[in-house]
Structure 1
Amino acid sequence: MTVHSRTNTLLRPVIRPVASLREMLAVRRQRLTLRELDDRALADIGLTRQAALTEARRPFWDLPACISR
Structure 2
Amino acid sequence: MKGQRGFVLLAKRPFSGLFHKVVRWQALHAERQTLAALSDDALKDIGLSRGDVEQDRHLHFWQDPLRK
- If the length of structure 2 is used for normalisation, what is the TM-score? 0.77
- The 4+ residue runs of structure 1 with deviation greater than 4 A are none
Percent of residue pairs bearing the same amino acid type: 29
| CA distance in 1 between partners of 2:36 and 2:23 (Å) | 20
Higher-Rg member (1/2): 2
**Cα root mean square deviation, aligned:** 2.3
1:26 aligns with 2:18: no
Name 1:58's counterpart in structure 2: 59
Structure 1: which 5+ runs fail to align? 1-7
Q: How many residue pairs were aligned?
A: 63
Using structure 1 for the length normalisation, give the TM-score.
Answer: 0.76
